[in-house]
Amino acid sequence: MNEPHNESSVAPAAAYLQRIAEHIAAIRTAVPHLTDMGERMAEPLLAGGNIFTAPIAAYFPNEFCNRAGGLMGVRPLMGGRTDAYTSRNKDDVAWFALPDPRFWKAADDAVLRELLSSNARLFAIGKADELPDNMRRRIAGFTGGAAADEGDYALEAFRPLTSFRPFEQLVRGWITTGEMITACIRAGKMPIIWMSVWLEGAFARNAAFYDHDNLREPWLIPLFHERRYIPPLSAGYAAGAFLDELTRIHACLLAQAGVLARAGQWMAEARRAGRGIHAIAVGHSHPEILELKHAPGYPIQWSGSVSDLNLAVPASIGRDEVVLHFGYSPVDIADVRRILKRGVKFIYTSPYGRPGELEDHPNLLWFDLPWRPADATVDIPGYSVRILPMSSSAHAMAYNAILAEFAERMGWR
């Protein structure tokens, strides 16, 4: 684990984001490898295979499936196991993430053993050395990324507390997926992409692609459009566009390091006063990607994804407790005012931006986290929707910057 970067001239939130810039630069240098991996994933799919995922790392099926800007034709899981078809077709592709190897024994994972015995081609988000040699040889490609102990600060079993590994898994996983999609486009086949259900007309548009009849269920979605020409996109296009947008959001956060520092200060004050600290990220990977089940005593109470502020900040959360809410939908000003009136200290953001009518308040700390509303990031010229969601990657940057400030003020080394 790295020593915390807490130089007196640099606030912890800013120091963390400076480290993130180094990770983004390292991922850029890895783009040729990730492009090659995406092309190797595309090859069997173009030959008639299916793509599926498995809950090796528990967060990833939720992050990857039914996702704005992701593939509609991902095959489902049945009863928590990979579907039976995974053992039939040598052109099937399994795409999954590896858990933190310090808390997970690959040899004891029944789902992973099932994948290893299947005919599918296996591609993993993570580092090759996170698997034993006998399993590693079966994997067709690894994305690489940060080591499990790379990060700063420590609290009980959480070492590091501000880890870089989840951020790298999210970014490397999605840009590899994007490179797979553009490889399919270059071969003349356009994958069917989810339109975000937050966009008008999305339900009707998405439903049109289901292969629906009254003979059997589940009703699946083909991986590719039958007749859809999209101009070819160069290798590295999706990765570059995604990383450019990520860099823009990173710069926006770095410019707000003082606000993020104030958020961490609020958390430290609440902790010392014995008040609750709560976090909600509306999206698909948090809090599961933090793997909090492995150790008790995490200093922030995470709730599941919920946009409605009346549910996200229930009446049971009282005066001087702190709530961090990463919103997904437009801001409901009346709900925010009700929360503030109760004395809750509310740290809030929405990709739609702060409405002009939302006035300043001593209990409100707003910061901008400007991923594109409806989430998908990369434009595909000639196609109706964008690919590759950004919200989880953006959440990882902002959350850990705030957490670094919290940890530094608490002296958690």
* Mean pLDDT of the chain, nearest integer: 94
Rounded mean pLDDT, 56-76: 94
Beta-bridged to residue 78, according to DSSP, are 81
pLDDT at 413: 86
Q: What CATH number belongs to 238-410? A: 3.40.50.10490
pLDDT tens per residue across span 216-257: 887 889 999 999 999 999 999 999 999 999 999 999 999 999
Q: How confident is the model at residue 7 (pLDDT cuts 50, 70, 90)?
A: very low
Q: Where are the domains of the chain?
A: 12-234, 238-410
Cβ neighbours of 105 (radius 10 Å): 10
Using the predicted structure, report yes or no on whether residue 85 has a pLDDT greater than 70: no
Class at the top of the CATH hierarchy for domain 12-234: alpha beta
User: How many Å from the N-terminal Cα to the C-terminal Cα in the chain?
Assistant: 11
Domains 12-234 and 238-410 share a fold: yes
CA–CA distance, 342 with 337 (Å, rounded to integer):
9
Tell me the pTM.
0.95
Using the predicted structure, report yes or no on whether residue 75 has a pLDDT greater than 90: no
pLDDT at 84: 42
CA–CA distance, 188 with 191 (Å, rounded to integer):
10
Rounded mean pLDDT, 112-128: 94
